[in-house]
Structure 1
Amino acid sequence: MSGATAKPPASLNPRTTTYEFLGPPGAFAVTFGVPFLTYALYFGCSEISGGCPPPLSTLYPSLVQAVSDPDWWANLWDSKAFTIYYGWYAFCIVAWAILPGDWVKGSQLRNGQYQQYKINAFSTCLLAMGLTSGYILRFGIQSFTFFYDHWVGFISAALSMSVLQGLLWYALSFQKNKLLALGGNSGNPVYDFYIGRELNPTVGSLDVKSFNELRPGLILWLLIDISMACEQATRLGGRITDSMGLVLFFQILYIIDALYNEPAILTTMDITSDGFGFMLAVGDLLWVPCVYSLQARYLAFRPKDLGYTWSAAILGVNFIGYWIFRSANNEKNEFRNGRNPKNLKYMTTEKGSKLLTSGWWGASRHPNYLGDLLMALAWSLPTGFETPVTYFYVVYFAVLLIHRQRRDDEACEKKYGKDWHRYMELVPYRIVPYIY
């Protein structure tokens, strides 16, 4: 990091006096709830579950029988899955270190300094994809089904990494001269472990938070999707259905877009204000690859052919969402970088900040979230309407984005004061114009 001399830590790290997520009880509930839901989405919707979800009349008795069996718990451990997962994480670190990439300066920190970020997530993905393609060409599609075959083990491996990182960075945050997150210094260990105490944990020049945000989980999500397609193709004699093709296309496009536009994450709340704790660790390393790939996993054992009409309609929903998402983000990024090619209107706050009031950002305060929601719906539609489970992602994502919108509005109100109220009069809708 470089920049002005740091201020005394006492003034930089005030005690957190307000809670999110309903405080320590909420943090405790989410800490255990996220792993439980990840396992439940498998045991409640898989080939072995007897339905998707199974009937309530059989679900409870089978669950009680399973959790009372020591062998069931032992089967959560899978040595091969752990070896592959931890090897994958090590690969991502090595790729970050050896692949070329620009160093980009992030937002100014409270101590006047700047965090530096190496931008090469897209190159890491290309390398991983190249190696995966070579592996499949050499050994056949049936050789790359191990994510499907060892799914529970991979969940356990990703969870173990999340817990290890949550504990590690919580413990190391008590070292001297650490810059803490304003929201993660409450003094309550349960809450601070979950929400994240240290703002920017680093190992040498590796920023842990941004590294985990895009590399191990996001690229693994792509590889899991490919593995699920290989599982389906193995069962169907070498072909995949149009529904699987749509899910692959949509999700790979989204992943590649995020990796290619890596610098865009440097202005998000995750990077600028949230500490790195169990919340971000389990979200990045477990939830993203193991829950966001739900549709592809479902179609691996429940193939579905849609036909041209349904495929075209679903493509339309996704592209409308992607167009809104990308064009809104482009407007924001160009404006933040001092460009305004569309001559968009804006208001200037007393602090000198400029807030867009036209274009996508005049239609709502978070138009990119609207695009996200439409894409989430398009990812689930190829699975049909035989089960509600594959639409879990849409419901979860709506809740997540509404929560993020409220957090962002609260932060902006604190930052801009009465100017924010004036801005909300100019842009009254939060996410969906004329609705919310």
Structure 2
Amino acid sequence: MIISHIIPYYYWYCLEFTDSKLVWFWDVDWSAAWEIAQPNWTAFNIYMGFIVYEGVLGWLIPGDLYEGLPLEHEGGKKLIYNCNAIHVWYITLPLIGILYVTGIAPVSMLYDNFAPILTVAIIFSNLVAIFTYFYTIATGNEHRLSGSFLYDFFMGAVLNPRLGSLDLKMFTEARISWVLLFLLTLSAAAKQYEELGYITTPMIFMLTAHTIYVNAIMKGEECVPSSWDIFYEKWGWLLIYWNLAGVPFVYCFSSIYIYKKGEEINMPWWYNLCIFILLFVAYYFWDTAQSQRNRFRMKKNGTFRERKTFPQLPYGTLPDNAKCLKTKAGSELLVDGWWAYARKLNYTMDTTMGLTWGLICGFGSFIPYFYFIFFFCMIIHRYHRDSERCKRKYKEDWDKYCETVKYIFIPGII
């Protein structure tokens, strides 16, 4: 938790003060950094205005209603999710353009106030985490506590926090973190356009990468309730901090680096083309693998319905008779589609996309590669936690599943 607060400030400092070169921690002029990064009312209004905007639209706009997975601790109860993220997304995109063209609230002001907004986001996320934990304990809604205060605060005490019909965990993960990341990248692109009169190829790449990633989450929101984060992970400091502050303000470092360097990043055209191709290939496998697995779960749960959202990629939905391994625990493990070749192919493709975010920046700094390394370590840790949970749940059936799908990340290799 301590390091997570230092990371965004440290790399922002290097981008802002040391020409993107890493410096020793004790050489950082924190007083100079704080002069810029201290919160102000402009930053507060921008950040909280975004939170309120997304929350009001997420709460009020009608969407497609989907049931989540049955909750064991509530006797198989299924929560209802109002999946309207794609509607809000398509309202937001033209609104951003209107606000920019009219000058009422140009998106470039996000970059101009980056550090103060980061500070507001960090303060707000910690306050939400503290309130959520103690409110959960006070109301007796805690779930799977370990007995260690620090661990329980870190991982969370509540599983499905809601504000009316708005699921807070799903809201912050799908609506706040990734949309704000897109807006920060768009802000850096707007600043580059204002200064250069055009947008460089690396910046076009980052806009493309973040747009298709966010759009994938928006168009496939009905698949999110069956994901690990929603049906198993609790809403603690880990998810709250990283969704409200960490993800958008750390994952955008490649975009900021590209803006800072501008025309200095001059890789050959064939190199850029290869990175674009790698991004699109990884995205295809990531999108369709996620869709296959979550729609398989939804079919078994009886909640699957086709949605007319764009783009629906080929091979994203498996047939009703998809091969699966039945377990004594009552669940069925998918061994068809991409999931017949590797147990965590989606992790591999997600990490590959993260690698392209660094490669498009060239090799002049470590900072654009931090996200890839950080995400790689996080994914490995999550894989081990997931495997331990599945081993406890499925016992010998999990061993049989691992024998059936031999590879974890890359078919034929590992």
Aligned CA RMSD, in angstroms, stands at 2.1
Which among 2, 11, 18 is matched to residue 50 of structure 1?
Answer: 18
Deviation at residue 250 of structure 1 after TM alignment: 1.1
Distance 1:318 1:357 in 2: 26
Alignment CA distance shift 1:384-1:252 (3 Å): same
Deviation at residue 79 of structure 1 after TM alignment: 2.2
Query: Are 1:96 and 2:55 matched, yes or no?
Result: no
Query: Are 1:217 and 2:173 matched, yes or no?
Result: no
Alignment CA distance shift 1:50-1:260 (3 Å): same
The answer to whether the Cα contact below 8 Å between 2:345 and 2:409 also exists between their aligned partners in 1 is yes
Aligned to 1:373: 351
The answer to whether the Cα contact below 8 Å between 1:241 and 1:305 also exists between their aligned partners in 2 is no
The answer to whether the Cα contact below 8 Å between 1:364 and 1:432 also exists between their aligned partners in 2 is yes
Q: Structure 1: state its 5+ residue gaps.
A: 1-30
Within-5 A mapping of 1:27-426: 31-46=1-16, 49-56=17-24, 60-61=26-27, 63=28, 66-67=29-30, 69=31, 72=34, 75-109=37-71, 110-112=73-75, 113-139=77-103, 143-178=106-141, 180-182=142-144, 185-236=145-196, 238-303=197-262, 304-336=265-297, 337-338=299-300, 340-341=318-319, 344-426=322-404
Alignment CA distance shift 1:305-1:135 (3 Å): farther
Q: Residue type matched to 2:283 in 1?
A: Y
Moved over 6 A (4+): none
The answer to whether the Cα contact below 8 Å between 2:4 and 2:246 also exists between their aligned partners in 1 is yes
The answer to whether the Cα contact below 8 Å between 1:320 and 1:374 also exists between their aligned partners in 2 is no
Deviation at residue 420 of structure 1 after TM alignment: 0.4
The answer to whether the Cα contact below 8 Å between 1:242 and 1:307 also exists between their aligned partners in 2 is no
The answer to whether the Cα contact below 8 Å between 2:329 and 2:393 also exists between their aligned partners in 1 is no
Distance 2:124 2:223 in 1: 26
TM-score by length of 1: 0.85
The answer to whether the Cα contact below 8 Å between 1:324 and 1:370 also exists between their aligned partners in 2 is no
The answer to whether the Cα contact below 8 Å between 2:338 and 2:345 also exists between their aligned partners in 1 is yes
SS in 2 for 1:107: coil
CA deviation vs aligned residue, 1:148-176 (integer Å, no higher than 9, x gap) = 21111011011111111101110111234
SS in 2 for 1:45: helix
Aligned to 1:20: none
Q: Structure 2: state its 5+ residue gaps.
A: 301-316
Deviation at residue 191 of structure 1 after TM alignment: 1.9
Alignment CA distance shift 1:259-1:324 (3 Å): same
SS in 1 for 2:67: strand
SS in 1 for 2:390: helix
The answer to whether the Cα contact below 8 Å between 1:347 and 1:355 also exists between their aligned partners in 2 is yes
The answer to whether the Cα contact below 8 Å between 1:181 and 1:273 also exists between their aligned partners in 2 is no
Alignment CA distance shift 1:384-1:86 (3 Å): same
Deviation at residue 330 of structure 1 after TM alignment: 2.7
Which stretch has the larger CA shift, 76-85 or 381-390? 76-85
Distance 1:366 1:70 in 2: 44
Deviation at residue 124 of structure 1 after TM alignment: 1.6
CA deviation vs aligned residue, 1:215-273 (integer Å, no higher than 9, x gap) = 1222111111111001111110x200011001110111011111110121111221111
Which among 388, 408, 411 is matched to residue 433 of structure 1?
Answer: 411
Number of equivalenced pairs: 393
TM-score by length of 2: 0.89
Distance 1:334 1:169 in 2: 31
Distance 2:22 2:393 in 1: 49
SS in 1 for 2:173: helix
Distance 1:344 1:271 in 2: 24
Distance 1:241 1:412 in 2: 46
Identity of matched residues, %? 29
CA deviation vs aligned residue, 1:38-81 (integer Å, no higher than 9, x gap) = 111101223xx22322455xx634x2xx33x4993684223211
Alignment CA distance shift 1:316-1:36 (3 Å): same
Q: Residue type matched to 1:256 in 2?
A: N
Distance 1:52 1:359 in 2: 43
Distance 2:198 2:83 in 1: 36
Distance 2:319 2:170 in 1: 30
The answer to whether the Cα contact below 8 Å between 1:170 and 1:196 also exists between their aligned partners in 2 is yes
The answer to whether the Cα contact below 8 Å between 2:254 and 2:367 also exists between their aligned partners in 1 is no
